[in-house]
Structure 1
Amino acid sequence: MFTICQGQLLQFYATFAATFSIFSYGVQHGWTAPAIAKLLSNESTIQITEAESSWLASIEMVTLAISSIICVNISKYISARTVCILQVIPSITGWLLIAFGTNVYYFYISRVLVGFVDVFDFLSIPVYLSEISNPNIRGALMCVIPLMCCAGSIYSYFFGYLLSIQTFALISLSIPLINALLMIKLPESPYYLIFQNRFDEGKQVLQQLRGKENIDIEFEIIKRNLDEQKSHEISWHKLFTNSLNRSALIIIISVTMIQQISGGQTIGSYLHLILEETNLDINIEVTATIFPFVQLFTSIVSVFIIDKVGRRKLLLFSCFGCILTLISLGIYFYFEKNREQLYWIPLPSIYLYSFFFNSGLADIGLILSGELFPTYIKTYGAAMGCLTYGLFGFIANKLYQTMVDLVGLYFVFWFYSGATLLGVCYIYFVLPETNCKSLSEIQVMMNKSTSKNKNIALDGLGVNTISSKL
């Protein structure tokens, strides 16, 4: 029988309080969809051009590089919890700019600030949750991140269309304020406290998070692990020169690339245009609205199954499902003359794609960025994850229209299915399973994997005498 201890209740509260900032970000991130449509209409008091609307939609992604560097430098001196709290400032400022802005430049600055909120949240919260949670529920708690982001986007989509831009901004201003109140009682990460030699505080917080469990062994393991990490220099180049960090970075970049080339970002961005191309007699607005609800439903399901099924199995299930639905969409758009007989394919395929993508691929980069890197370099690794996400998201969005123009929409879906198949090979043969392992155990596993790879390489060169410890 499943029971919840007092420590887990504190973990659940900390997860809700921290990820409420993700909900807040989701509202701001999704604001552009209803806002751009209103700003382009003749009734808008602030008129914008098509070119300005394009910048309004993409400027957040452009700022990721700068905001990542700034956030990483800040995180050298403060904890992930404090970084999470700081994001309230640009979030509130962004809504004020929208509420009282008199031209598009106010909105541009607001989107730049949303880029900072993006990085502050997605660099700090996966790290924070991974450090406070029990290994057996860590995956479930991490899955709350995309769930809250999706819920925020749905909120923005509905109320953004119903309310004026100024009214929506003033009402939404309350969200980061509520977030700030929730985070007042947010417990500090025991990893951060122990890393700062605040051992008594660290042990006390760890005990609160674990309830009545005996934490002596876990505390000593964490302390010994962090003592080893303190000897490492903390800098960007350590991501590339240290073999363990490099292995983790390659995994994060690879998984993020698989996530983007499987079409998740692009299909979401061009959903209205894809639905128009189906030539079905449907209400596109209503049909498109169902898409984020499928995402939300799947994110909720993932919370309950990820720690039972495991990361690798769920990812493989997600990939195979995406491949089948992408192939079916390609078939529909390839046989233009037979679309009347194939009318039943596109809508179920789009919704099933959303289900399969969000069951694994949508979450895995966030989860692994909080698990694979050692504590001392974790924010740098998460920052590279954000940069990779932005880079491949930009490339995927740009390639979409190019492929449609040169070949056709059917080719886009078949290209994504082929790329996802390559991702299956990588996940099956390379990706480690971190399910139900403590962060210390994951570091031991990564060290063994790195040592094994080095031994294989050296044996190939004829070097037989290798130290058993690196």
Structure 2
Amino acid sequence: MGFSRAFMLDMIPQVVATVLGTLMAVSDGMTYGWTSPMIPYFMSNSSHIEMSENDADWMETINLLGYAAGLPFTILSVDHLGRKISMILSALLGCLCWILLLIAEDIKLLYVSRFMAGMAGDMCFVAAPMYIAEISDYRIRGFLSSLIYFMMIVGIVVVYCTGSLAPYWVTPAVGIILTAAQSAFVIFLPESPYYYVYKNKYEKARKALRRLRAHEDLDAEMKEIQQEVEREKTEKGRPQDLVLIKSNRKALLITLLLNGAQHFVGISVFLMNLQLILEQAGSEYIESTTASIIFAVIMLLSTGAASTIIDKYGRRFLLITSSLLTGFSLLAMTIFFHLQYNNYDVAAASWIPAASVMVYAATFKVGLGLVPIVVIAEIFPTTVKALGMTLSDVMYVMAAVVSIYMYQLLSGHYGLHVPLYIFTVCSFAMVGFTLMWLPETKGKTLDEIQMMLKGELVEQKEKKKQKKIDENRV
């Protein structure tokens, strides 16, 4: 996608704001992947804190419970304090969590830290995507919105490396530096112009927009933002409007399915159990620790590549491609473990699970692991955006918990191939969902997306098309 020099200069303030505003996402990625290298450490003889298998299971679950507990605070914060203040609060809470992990001498303090880290992560992944979508030019909104997932994967790579290869204190030290840096830097960023307009602070909105755009001509964009927010205010923004208004209901359904699908194609299971899965395959081609690091690095590279093309090829194309390829990689693993479960000699093919999870890492992050955060930040109107995104986050947490529990239950009783069959079917089902339900938001302003959900944008285009036909006839 070619851009003019003037537009490239225009992008710089938006890119800087996005990067500084998503440092907490690196910390959240570290939190999410922390159990993979740390639980083996805590259950070893060299650990400074004694941990049982039951304690280890709770280390994964309590973080997700923290996400759920933080939801009410997140809704109040982003609407009443603003996107910017919410990002600062998220980083401050994240910093406190890493400090507790650094000084912890007993299991209880670890639980408290992991719970609070979930609350901080929830606020981060609601406030930051909202902020990015509202400060971005529509031509690069997909790219900027996808950077938060890129930063999260950076965090997973960091924690896999530091957790496996460095002393215990290194990981929390890195987390403290990242969250403290965001707390300090975000103070100097402008607030979302949409938030200021929503609060009737028009002069502050203009000043914020001026800091985010290199050009001086802001009148047209300010007028567009004001018109959009004023139109959305006519819908009052009551909680029930999320269900009663057809366009909001459609947006909610789309976001719930997108967030749920990420986990029901197995991402949480693989991130938290990759080493155990590869060990069960009996592969001698690669060590499980090394495989975990390579898995995270591939996800990072895939996310980086996808973020640069999402505004060129669109959300639907990436999601369909990702769902198909991820489904085939899961199918290969499923067949292998099914044959192994039925006592077939699969030793010669033990490389298949390792190869498949690496393909999975690349294909998942191209669309299934990237498109949801972009679409969710775009698809809700300002009046119910906080509630809509928070409910989507609830689905994200619930789907993560259910998918992990389902994996543990089914693999323990019926074999690893059973949950993998479910993940495979869900991946292929996403192709049909995308074709039938997901609108293409590429290249559209936030106002145009709302009109499209209401059907007004299609009607306008049809009227223009018919008018042109009539003019040609005359």
TM normalised by structure 1 equals 0.91
**Matching residue of 2:313:** 309
AA matched with 1:188: E
Residues 18-42 of structure 1 deviation map (CA, whole Å, 9 limit, x = unaligned): 1112112222333333332222222
Give 1:417's match in structure 2, choosing from 411, 418, 424.
Answer: 424
What does residue range 38-437 of structure 1 map to in structure 2 within 5 Å?
38-212=41-215, 214-281=217-284, 282-336=286-340, 337-437=344-444
User: Which whole-Å CA distance do the structure 2 matches of 1:206 and 1:87 have between them?
Assistant: 24
Contact 1:244 1:450 in 2 (8 A): no
Please identify, of 430-439 and 24-33, the stretch whose mean Cα deviation from structure 2 is larger. 24-33
Deviations 1:213-251 (A, max 9, x none): 633222212101111222333343332222221111001
Q: How far apart, CA to CA, are the structure 1 residues paired with 2:330 and 2:77?
A: 42
| Residue number in structure 2 paired with 1:440 | 447
After superposing the two structures, state which structure 1 stretch, 180-189 or 147-156, moved more: 180-189
After superposing the two structures, state which structure 1 stretch, 113-122 or 174-183, moved more. 174-183
1:43–1:81 CA distance, 2 compared to 1 (3 A): same
SS at match of 1:47: coil
Assess if the C-alpha contact under 8 Å between 1:22 and 1:121 holds in 2. Answer: yes
Go from structure 1 to structure 2 and tell me whether the alpha carbon gap of 1:258 and 1:170 turns closer, same or farther (over 3 Å shift): closer
| DSSP 3-state at the match of 2:367 | helix
Q: Please report how far the alpha carbon of residue 72 of structure 1 lies from its aligned counterpart in structure 2 after TM superposition.
A: 0.5
Determine what percentage of the aligned residue pairs are the same residue: 27
Unaligned stretches of 5+ in structure 1?
453-470
Structure 1 residue 386, shift from structure 2 partner:
0.9
Q: How far 1:191 sits from its partner (Å)?
A: 0.7
How far 1:338 moved relative to its partner? 4.1
Name 1:32's counterpart in structure 2: 35
Shift of 1:327: 1.3
Deviations 1:3-62 (A, max 9, x none): 353321000100110111211222233333333222222222321221112112210101
Q: Is the 8 A contact 2:322 2:368 kept in 1?
A: yes
Q: Which amino acid aligns with 1:311?
A: R
How far apart in 2 are the matches of 1:116 and 1:149?
16
Write the distance in 1 (CA, Å) between the matches of 2:388 and 2:66: 18
CA RMSD of superposed structures (Å): 2.0
- C-alpha distance in structure 1 between counterparts of 2:430 and 2:309, whole Å: 22
Deviations 1:259-316 (A, max 9, x none): 2211222222221121012112132211222100110000110111111010001000
Indicate the larger mover: 249-258 or 210-219.
210-219
- Cα deviation, residue 326, structure 1: 1.2
TM superposition shift of 1:124: 0.4
Q: Measure, in 1, the Cα distance between the counterparts of 2:103 and 2:294.
A: 32
C-alpha distance 267-99 of structure 1, shift in aligned 2 (>3 A): closer
Residue matched to 2:462: none
Supply the distance in 2 between the matched residues of 1:224 and 1:133 (Cα, whole angstroms): 17
CA–CA distance in structure 2, aligned partners of residues 315 and 353 of structure 1: 14
Deviation of the 1:430 alpha carbon: 0.9
- Once the two structures are TM-superposed, the CA of residue 451 in structure 1 deviates from its matched residue by 10
